[in-house]
Amino acid sequence: MGRVLDEISAELAAFIGTADGCDAGKPNIVRLYGRGDVLPVGEPEGDALLEHFPPIAGARSVIRVAIDRVSTSCGYGVPLMQYEGPRSRLVEWAQAKGADGLVAYRAERNLASIDGLPGLSSP
């Protein structure tokens, strides 16, 4: 949760295309600026927001961002891409670990970020 919990502004950048992928239609980059909260899975606020999304095995947290600025730019430098579908590896890995295995993994590996900032709290 590092930088988000340290109350440093979180910037999200999304490449917006059409239903046919980023190679169709006008390119555009949308940037959303705001402050974020990390809501771990298994805690009431995180679980309440997860109800609005399809279940994802291996989900660790929900990032809630209070957006205070939106900007756009042309996107002419965005490479052409085609969406092929979701990857299955995370779901396979999480299902193989099982619920208890995921809790143990997070307790061991997610307490700090790769740059040493605080991560997910231990269950």
Q: What is the DSSP letter of 118?
A: B
Q: Answer yes or no: is 29 within a domain.
A: yes
> Sorting pLDDT into bands at 50, 70 and 90, what band is 122?
low
Q: Answer yes or no: is 115 within a domain.
A: no
Give the number of domains in the chain.
1
Q: Answer yes or no: is 81 within a domain.
A: yes
Range of the domain at 98: 2-109
pLDDT in tens, 22-60: 555 677 777 878 888 888 888 899 899 999 988 888 888
> Sorting pLDDT into bands at 50, 70 and 90, what band is 74?
confident
Q: Answer yes or no: is 97 within a domain.
A: yes
Average pLDDT, the chain: 77
